[in-house]
Structure 1
């Protein structure tokens, strides 16, 4: 069994569930994704598998997402803000843009109806969330 398709599905479900929800399966996938992300952060790399994008043994699936992943990580690293709130919004916009770009790859290349359904859901949800984040304005600070 290859883990890349499972990880992609878990990632897509996790992103589509950003607005919350009570589905225990989605919650389990979000938890597993968070644990996997925490493990890769502890290791200090996005991925340590021999099939990571850009590595010698990258699979066709890895290569399909390499550009969108790289652009997302670069965008997140460059995004900033004067406050934690502003930085959070800037970085999350880039994160969601990456999810939309990955969904576009899946929609263009996948023939699996369930993957296409999930990718469409991710694209729609993340696009709405980007618009909401762009509309966010810091709360007015009380004057002393």
Structure 2
């Protein structure tokens, strides 16, 4: 069974590609973040089962795959400088937050949790785009 958030996640990257930002690096990074977030969400949903994580199956179990993937990506992220490593690791961290929020949005029945999950998705996706668009400051 495909949950509506997965359908939205599947269509969003296509919509963003169709609305090309004309070379704006933040817009490009947002398109890339949406595509990456979609892939992470689908992977997490496939690993944890057809419903992502039912309330009855246990709360922690619903997030096990996305949490493990976030830690794997953070450990693999690196950079030549502290700045570059920070950006790489924070992108992975935010991708994990988005993947977990997608699970909560798909499985939670609590309106406040759903509101917070939507806010996390929106905010963290925007921040991923900003970090991907970041370029090191020119040395003085």
Bin for the TM-score computed over the shorter chain = 0.5 to 0.7
1:43 matched to which residue of 2? Answer: none
Q: 1:117 aligns with which of 115, 118, 134?
A: 115
2:3 matched to which residue of 1? Answer: none
Query: TM-score scaled to structure 1, two decimals?
Result: 0.57
> Displacement, 1:60?
1.1
Q: In the TM superposition, what whole-angstrom CA distance separates every residue of 1:26-48 from its partner, at most 9, and x where no partner exists?
A: xxxxxxxxxxxxxxxxxxxxxxx
Q: In the TM superposition, what whole-angstrom CA distance separates every residue of 1:12-59 from its partner, at most 9, and x where no partner exists?
A: xxxxxxxxxxxxxxxxxxxxxxxxxxxxxxxxxxxxxxxxxxxxxxx6
- Bigger radius of gyration among the two: 1
Q: After the TM superposition, which residues 54-133 of structure 1 pair with which residues of structure 2 at under 5 Å, given as runs?
A: 60-133=58-131
Over aligned residues, Cα RMSD in angstroms? Answer: 0.9
Q: In the TM superposition, what whole-angstrom CA distance separates every residue of 1:66-118 from its partner, at most 9, and x where no partner exists?
A: 00000000000000000000000000000000000000000110010000000
Number of residue pairs aligned between Structure 1 and Structure 2: 84
Q: Using CA pairs below 8 Å that are at least 6 residues apart, which structure has the higher relative contact order?
A: 2
Q: In the TM superposition, what whole-angstrom CA distance separates every residue of 1:107-140 from its partner, at most 9, and x where no partner exists?
A: 1100100000000000000000000000000011
SS at match of 2:91: helix
